[in-house]
Structure 1
Amino acid sequence: MDYKKLIEIKAQLLCYGIRENKWSIEFYRKQNPNNIIKGGGFVGLHFILDTKIPVLASTTFVFDKNSSYEIVKKQQFFYLKHDDGSVIRIDSITMPHWYQNTTTSHKPMSKVFAHEGTHYLHQQYAGCGYQMIGKGCKFCGTGCKWYDSSAEEIVETALQAYEENNQYQVCLGGGTKLIPSKGSEFFLSCVKKIREKNKNIPIWIEMTPPDENKYIEELINAGASGFGFNIEIWDDVLRHEICPGKSRIPKQRYFEVWDFVQKKLDKNKTNTVLITKLEPFKSTLEGIHEISKKGVRITLLPFKPWGTSAYANKVPADPENLLKLGYKLAKDMIKYHINPDKNYGCANCDSCTIEEDIRKFVLLPKKN
Structure 2
Amino acid sequence: MNPQTLINELQSYGLRLVDPNAGAPSRRGGAGPSDHKGLIINGVTIMAPVHTASAYASPYLALAPDEAGNSIVQREGCTVGTLSFPAQPRFYDLQTADGIPYQQIALLHGTDVLATTVLQTCIRYESRRKTCRFCSIGQSLAAGRTLAHKSPAQLAEVAKAAVELDGVKHMVMTTGTPNRTDRGAAVLLESVIAVKAAVDLPIQVQCEPPDDDIWFQRLHDAGVDSLGMHMEAVSPSVRESIMPGKAEVPIERYLEAFRAAVPVFGYGQVSSYILAGLGDTASEILDMCRTLIDIGVYPFVVPFVPIAGTPLEDHPAPLPAFMHEVLEPLGRMLSQAGMSRESVKAGCARCGACSSLSTYEKQVPQLTEVLN
Q: Same fold (TM over 0.5)?
A: yes
Task: Return the alpha-carbon distance in structure 1 between the equivalents of residues 65 and 351 of structure 2.
Answer: 29
Unaligned runs of at least 5 residues, structure 1? 364-368
- Alignment-derived partner of residue 90 in structure 2: 97
Task: Return the alpha-carbon distance in structure 1 between the equivalents of residues 194 and 274 of structure 2.
Answer: 32
Task: Return the alpha-carbon distance in structure 2 between the equivalents of residues 273 and 17 of structure 1.
Answer: 20
Aligned-pair CA distance for 1:259: 2.1
Are the equivalent residues in 2 in contact too, given 1:6–1:49 (CA < 8 A)?
A: no
- Alignment-derived partner of residue 159 in structure 1: 160
Percent identity, please.
19
Aligned-pair CA distance for 1:90: 0.5
- Alignment-derived partner of residue 235 in structure 2: 235
Task: Report matched runs for 1:88-127 at 5 Å.
Answer: 88-124=81-117, 126-127=120-121
Aligned-pair CA distance for 1:36: 6.5
Are the equivalent residues in 2 in contact too, given 1:208–1:230 (CA < 8 A)?
A: yes
2:132 to 111, 134, 137: 137
Are the equivalent residues in 1 in contact too, given 2:234–2:284 (CA < 8 A)?
A: yes
Task: Report matched runs for 1:245-260 at 5 Å.
Answer: 245-260=245-260
Task: Return the alpha-carbon distance in structure 1 between the equivalents of residues 71 and 2 of structure 2.
Answer: 19
CA shift digits 1:186-212 (9 cap, x unpaired)? 1111111122233x3111101111111
| AA aligned opposite 1:126 | Q
| AA aligned opposite 2:74 | K
- 1:48 equivalent to 2:43? Answer no
SS of alignment partner, residue 224 of structure 1: coil
CA shift digits 1:243-274 (9 cap, x unpaired)? 11111111122122222222112112100011
Task: Return the alpha-carbon distance in structure 2 between the equivalents of residues 100 and 329 of structure 1.
Answer: 40
- Alignment-derived partner of residue 316 in structure 2: 315
Are the equivalent residues in 1 in contact too, given 2:124–2:177 (CA < 8 A)?
A: yes
Aligned-pair CA distance for 1:38: 3.0
- Alignment-derived partner of residue 72 in structure 1: 63
- Alignment-derived partner of residue 38 in structure 1: 30
Unaligned runs of at least 5 residues, structure 2? 366-372
Task: Report matched runs for 1:1-16 at 5 Å.
Answer: 5-16=2-13
Are the equivalent residues in 2 in contact too, given 1:261–1:269 (CA < 8 A)?
A: no
Task: Return the alpha-carbon distance in structure 2 between the equivalents of residues 253 and 302 of structure 1.
Answer: 24
Aligned-pair CA distance for 1:140: 1.7
SS of alignment partner, residue 45 of structure 2: strand
Task: Return the alpha-carbon distance in structure 1 between the equivalents of residues 296 and 335 of structure 2.
Answer: 10
| AA aligned opposite 1:11 | N
Task: Return the alpha-carbon distance in structure 1 between the equivalents of residues 92 and 246 of structure 2.
Answer: 34
- Alignment-derived partner of residue 368 in structure 2: none
2:349 to 333, 343, 347: 347
Aligned-pair CA distance for 1:67: 0.8
Give the direction of change, closer, same or farther, for the CA distance of 1:137–1:42 in structure 2 (3 Å limit): closer
- Alignment-derived partner of residue 366 in structure 1: none
Task: Return the alpha-carbon distance in structure 1 between the equivalents of residues 190 and 52 of structure 2.
Answer: 35
Task: Return the alpha-carbon distance in structure 1 between the equivalents of residues 268 and 156 of structure 2.
Answer: 25
- Alignment-derived partner of residue 63 in structure 1: 54
SS of alignment partner, residue 363 of structure 2: helix
Aligned-pair CA distance for 1:73: 2.5
- Alignment-derived partner of residue 357 in structure 1: 359
- 1:329 equivalent to 2:330? Answer yes
Aligned-pair CA distance for 1:347: 1.6
Are the equivalent residues in 1 in contact too, given 2:91–2:166 (CA < 8 A)?
A: no
Which runs of 4 or more aligned residues in structure 1 lie more than 6 Å from their structure 2 counterparts after TM superposition?
A: none
Give the direction of change, closer, same or farther, for the CA distance of 1:151–1:267 in structure 2 (3 Å limit): same
Task: Return the alpha-carbon distance in structure 1 between the equivalents of residues 300 and 32 of structure 2.
Answer: 21
Task: Return the alpha-carbon distance in structure 1 between the equivalents of residues 349 and 339 of structure 2.
Answer: 11
SS of alignment partner, residue 297 of structure 1: strand
Give the direction of change, closer, same or farther, for the CA distance of 1:36–1:137 in structure 2 (3 Å limit): closer
Aligned-pair CA distance for 1:72: 0.5
CA shift digits 1:199-230 (9 cap, x unpaired)? x3111101111111122221111111110000
